[in-house]
Amino acid sequence: MILVVDDDAAMTAFVRTTLESDGRAVRTCHAVPEAMEWLEGAEPDLIISDVVMGTLGGFEFRRLHQDRFPTRLTPFLFLSSLSDTEKIVEGLELGADDFLVKPVAPQLLRAKVRAHLRQKSRYAAATFQGDVASFPFIKVLQFCETKFLNGDVTVDAPGLSVRLGFAAGQVLQDGGSSDTVLEKLLDLREGRFTVRSAPVDFSEIAAASPARAPAAPSPAASSSVMGCLSGVRVGKRLFQVQSEFLAHPDPVAVSVVILDGRTLLKRVSDPLPGRTREEWQRAVQEQHRRVEAEVGERVQAAADKGTAASTPVRDAHVWIEEGLGRYLALDYVGALAAWEEAARLDPGNKGLEVNLRIVRKKLTDAAP
């Protein structure tokens, strides 16, 4: 199902006819509130929205949709008579997947929709959400690197909405993914992030040996994976809390607590049968909050008894954490020293190279 939102009845009729001729089911709405109400009970395959519409326009619709349904992978396309570059850039920076200018040729509209639906089908909804206030973006970069992420990370913060592509855990340095954007992200103190991973694409193997090629996961089968990612800071120690939903063999929520690369705690919920995707997501979030609270209570109890763990050996990971703390405290000289030591112990660490470039730039900019 494709959702089309436009207050021009002639335009919605044109889009409906064009897409239905390509075998698509289409739902039309003539105002943003009507569309948001419909979205509460349905998840379309793709959304096409006008920009200028009554009280609430397309840009506001994009923000509302992202805030209300942050785990959805719905491609979002703007279709507008606005053609100036600034408006197109603004729409894309809101996280839209494309911006088409009216009038649009029917064959181009059909081709764009097919392309975005193909792109969506390559992504599994292995989705993790978090809050920059508790899990700084620099930790998000480290997480993506250690997990060799293939996918993307979106960040929505006041005055900033960014999507970064990742391949094998490294940021794809193209488009808006420059060091300037990364610097802004590392300096964030509030905002939400979403990490999405993509499955392996077996199409090339299938073309070479179709009889033996494994089947790629279907979007319907993969859309059940979701989770949360955050950090609990106790003193100078940052405990990573990761929760996710696993569908097989029974649907459960699984949470783990990680410190210095070691798993300290694991919690598995009772089976969660017969629920919708959003109910499962809420169950994961509730367990995640319980585990966060448990970590804080257990570490504080250990500290009160004088049994807190001793300072770990200073390996590269610890120096990275030291640099993170100093960076967040705006001690860029200390962050540089710590990350240079980490780089000495772990040469070739691409994430560290990004950190070092950014902190050196900050020191250069601050120099008289």
pLDDT more than 70, % of the chain: 82
The amino acid sitting at 262 is: R
The number of domains in the chain is: 4
Span of 222-226, 257-261, 356-360 with lowest mean pLDDT:
222-226
* Selection from 138-147, 205-214, 243-252 with the highest mean pLDDT: 138-147
Q: What is the pLDDT of residue 196?
A: 81
Last residue of a domain, one of 214, 249, 280: 214
Cis? peptide before 217, omega within 30° of 0: no
Per-residue pLDDT at 219 exceeds 50:
no
Per-residue pLDDT at 147 exceeds 80:
no
Same-domain check for residues 200 and 275: no
What confidence tens digit (pLDDT) does each residue in 1-18 have? 999 999 999 999 999 999
Q: What are the residues facing 46 on neighbouring strands?
A: 2
**Rounded distance, CA 275 to CA 52, Å?**
37
Q: What is the pLDDT of residue 124?
A: 47
What confidence tens digit (pLDDT) does each residue in 282-335 have? 888 899 989 988 888 877 776 666 644 444 345 677 788 888 888 988 999 999
Domain membership of residue 219 (yes or no) is no
Q: Mean pLDDT over residues 349-362, rounded?
A: 87
Same-domain check for residues 105 and 130: no
Q: Mean pLDDT over residues 43-65, rounded?
A: 91
Per-residue pLDDT at 224 exceeds 50:
no
**Structural domain that includes position 11:** 2-121
Q: Mean pLDDT over residues 219-241, rounded?
A: 66
Same-domain check for residues 108 and 128: no
Mapping DSSP to helix (H, G, I), strand (E, B) and coil, where does residue 83 land?
coil
Mapping DSSP to helix (H, G, I), strand (E, B) and coil, where does residue 111 land?
helix
Domain membership of residue 342 (yes or no) is yes
Last residue of a domain, one of 159, 185, 214: 214
**Rounded distance, CA 67 to CA 217, Å?**
28
Q: Mean pLDDT over residues 227-237, rounded?
A: 78
Same-domain check for residues 76 and 110: yes
Q: What is the pLDDT of residue 12?
A: 94
**Rounded distance, CA 140 to CA 351, Å?**
11
**Rounded distance, CA 307 to CA 144, Å?**
32
Same-domain check for residues 300 and 358: no
Q: What is the pLDDT of residue 259?
A: 78
**Rounded distance, CA 26 to CA 16, Å?**
6
Same-domain check for residues 210 and 171: yes
Q: From residue 334, how far is each of 236, 338, 340, 343 by CA, in Å?
A: 15, 6, 10, 14
How many beta carbons lie within 10 A of that of residue 56, not counting itself?
16
